Structure 1
Amino acid sequence: MQRIVEPLDAHERELWGSQTITLRHNLASLDLFSDGYLAEMIESAAPRSVAIHAEGGSDPSDWPSVSRGTASGAQVLDAVRGGMLWLNLVGISEWDSRFAELADQIFAEFSEQVPGLNIVKRKLGVLVSSPKATVHYHVDVPGQAIWQVRGRKRFIIYPSAEPFLRQTDLEDAVRSATYGVASYQPWYDDYATPHDLEPGKALHWQLNGPHRIENFDELSVSLTSEHWTPDIRRTYAMNYGNGLLRKYGWRPRSTSTSGPAFWGKVGLTAAYRKSGLQNKHGYQRITKHTIDPSTPTGARPLPESEWAPPGA
């Protein structure tokens, strides 16, 4: 079987998870990322697994959510190619057997190469985005990598520390109180590291590293991977617990991931999530647009009577 991830250098294995490393891969040789297969996946996926956003203002949380409506998979791809859209086949490795096998292979190859790597949960997604589309400054919660398969994009990474990543912004993102949005100032760019991605290149970066994306003038198809280790889970629980304490008037003093205070936050996080309060108070999108390849943006507004949560 052909390798997906080219062998890491010794220093890249040591830097895994703490610094940005460039990966080399062979995904472009697979037919999983052809227009035909992507169109098939768009049509067969449950509505909640096809997240489509139109670009809006500087805050991604305000970007319109777009429904597929009655458009075929090929029409959706045409709308993305000619418009200003981002399409995410969310968690595709959890509902498509070929991508499930791909996830098994990718993470097995990582585990072979990175000493002590203990991945307890992982999944893949596929991003299809328009020429010149952008994603503004934001932060992701689990460990992440982006794999460029078709087209080119510029991926700009910032330090995962104050002031580039404020603790309150991270806590809100972890609790899903925002759409992963972090505070941004234009001067942050002076301290950023840009990476130009083309087919065969991928990036894995430091946990919670803020970043933004600029597509070149061509359709972009990327694979995204996310993973959880015991350390990432502990960091998540600490930030979630601190965010809850702050929400209800306490000022958390510790970011430790061990000890009695930490385990108290673990219990608080579990109880809050189990209660359903996260779904009630978390960030919610409303779909107000639908795919329309004939428009310049690739989408058109829906009448207010048809507005609904994505996947409804």
Structure 2
Amino acid sequence: MNAPSKHWPTTDQRHHALVTDIFDATARMEFAQSYPEVPHKLRHALDRHPLLDLEALAQLAESLPEASIEFNRGDLPIGIDDKPGETGLSIGETIRQVGEANSWAALKNIEQVPAYEELLMELLGELRDEIEAKTGAMLTPQGFIFISSPNAVTPYHFDPEHNILLQIRGSKVMTQFPAGDARFAPDEVHESYHSGGPRELKWDDSYMDQARAFALGPGDAVFVPVMAPHFVQNGPASSVSLSITWRSEWSYAESDARGLNHLLRQRGFSPRATGRWPMSNAPKAYAFRALRKLGLAR
């Protein structure tokens, strides 16, 4: 990773931007009542921050390793069968020209850069008590930034983390579907994902009868439960969103239990699906971890 740009905001500027809580008492109460299984909207006070303007994000992208950058065309259908095509621009050009680039970009694991790690940990620190009261220790905090052109689509997929998406500029609609329901994400797809497969899901228009659409503008946020299928439609202006994520022992146990089910299915068995929180997946998870330690699973 290259050294951070000397033009990034100073520590004093960052602290000035965080002199008040990002999530107020009402937001924290709503989060505590709904976490970890109920998707819901929150308000936040991070709609203007020097680390999240386009030039700062372009410089961040140019400093990150290649594995931490994903960008592609933005004019996509809700469901795709493979990775979408490239834009022909560099990542820096994509972000600086996002208003006209017809693109979607993701900057992954922004905590690799100290200034962004500080921002991520301040945000999660405001919710730590509410998180740990429900799902125990907050593990593996990570941050992701999404920069989207007008009307860009993030196709139907799921993610393994507990996640809050904060809208910084522009608008979008995130449409979520029930987590843990095999109709929207079959067990075999979950198991393949946790064994190294893709996270994209097959789309069916009939799913919309169970859709929950969350319209987001600057100052809005939405909580996404672990593995809740969703897609995102950007609004008429370019968009910047910050995703703050964390794992729990429950989410890791669910992942490892899915890994064991994948091995069992490969051997002709029809394993029982893993349980949603607060059900324990510990026995399967421990078995899979033992196999992995012996080199018999990845």
- Could you tell me the TM-score, scaled by structure 2's length? 0.82
Aligned to 1:302: none
Distance 1:132 1:72, change over 3 A: closer
Alignment of 1:109-148 (within 5 A): 109-114=126-131, 115-116=133-134, 117-148=136-167
Q: Superposed, which structure 2 residues align to 1:52-131 within 5 Å? A: 52-55=71-74, 56=76, 58-59=79-80, 61-65=82-86, 71=90, 73=92, 75-93=93-111, 95-114=112-131, 115-116=133-134, 117-131=136-150
Native 8 Å contact 2:28 2:127 kept in 1:
no
Is 1:174–2:194 an aligned residue pair? yes
Which residue pairs with 1:263 in the alignment? Answer: 286
How many residue pairs match? The answer is 270
Q: CA deviation at 1:78?
A: 4.0
Q: Provide the C-alpha distance between the structure 2 equivalents of 1:141 and 1:44, rounded to a whole number of angstroms.
A: 26
Displacement of 1:140 after TM fit? Answer: 0.8
Q: Quote the residue 1:2 is aligned against.
A: 20
- Work out whether residues 173 and 214 of structure 2, in 8 Å CA contact, stay in contact via their aligned partners in 1: yes
Separation in 2 of the partners of 1:99 and 1:77? 17
Note if contact 1:166-1:183 (Cα within 8 Å) is conserved in structure 2. no
Q: Determine if contact 2:194/2:258 at 8 Å carries over to the other structure.
A: yes
Greater RCO, CA 8 A, separation 6+: 1
**Structure 1 residues 199-242: Cα deviation after superposition (integer angstroms, max 9, x where no partner):** 11111122211001100111010001221111111111101221
Question: Is the CA contact 2:22–2:44 (under 8 Å) kept in the aligned structure 1?
Answer: yes
Residue deviations 1:11-45, cap 9 Å, x none?
54132111012121111221111122112112222
Aligned AA for 1:62?
Answer: K
Equivalent residues of 1:146, 1:224 under 8 A apart: yes
Output aligned runs, 1:7-26, within 5 Å: 7=25, 8=27, 10=29, 12-26=31-45
Deviates most, 148-157 or 201-210 = 201-210
The 3-state SS of whatever aligns with 2:259 is helix
Instruction: Look up the SS of the partner of 2:36 in the other structure.
Output: coil
User: Tell me, which stretches of 5 or more residues in structure 2 are unaligned?
Assistant: 1-18
Residue 171 of structure 1 and its aligned partner are, at CA, apart by 1.4
CA RMSD of aligned residues (A): 2.3
Kept in 2: contact 1:132–1:218 (CA 8 A): yes
1:30 paired with 2:30, answer no
> Greater shift after overlay, 154-163 or 249-258?
249-258
Q: Write the distance in 2 (CA, Å) between the matches of 1:61 and 1:96.
A: 30
Deviation string, structure 1 residues 75-104 (Cα, Å, up to 9, x no partner)? 2224432132111111011x2111110111
| Alignment partners' CA distance in 1, 2:225 and 2:55 | 34
Is contact 1:139-1:211 (8 Å) kept? yes
**Cα distance in 1, alignment partners of residues 250 and 54 from structure 2:** 38
Does the aligned pair in 2 maintain the 1:103–1:123 contact within 8 Å?
Answer: yes
Alignment partners' CA distance in 2, 1:92 and 1:207 = 20
Matches within 5 A, 1:150-169: 150-160=169-179, 161-169=181-189
Question: In structure 2, what is the equivalent of residue 249 of structure 1?
Answer: 268
Structure 1 consecutive aligned stretches of length 4 or more whose deviation exceeds 6 Å: none
Q: 1:197 to 1:60 in 2, by over 3 A?
A: farther
> 1:124 and 1:210, CA in 2 relative to 1: closer, same or farther beyond 3 A?
same
2:287 alignment partner AA: G
Structure 1 unaligned runs (5+)? 279-312
Whole-Å separation in 2 of the counterparts to 1:59 and 1:252:
28
Q: What is the aligned partner in structure 2 of residue 190 from structure 1? A: 209
**1:41–1:154 distance in 2 versus 1, CA, 3 Å:** same
Deviation at 1:128, TM superposition (A): 0.4
- Which of 217, 232, 238 is 1:219 aligned to? 238
TM-score between the two structures when normalised by the length of structure 1 = 0.79
Counterpart contact for 2:168–2:240, Cα < 8 Å: yes
Q: Establish whether residue 41 from structure 1 lines up as the match of residue 83 from structure 2.
A: no
- Given that 2:157 and 2:229 are in contact with CA atoms closer than 8 Å, whether structure 1 keeps it comes out as yes
Change in CA separation of 1:91 and 1:9 when aligned onto 2, cut-off 3 Å: closer
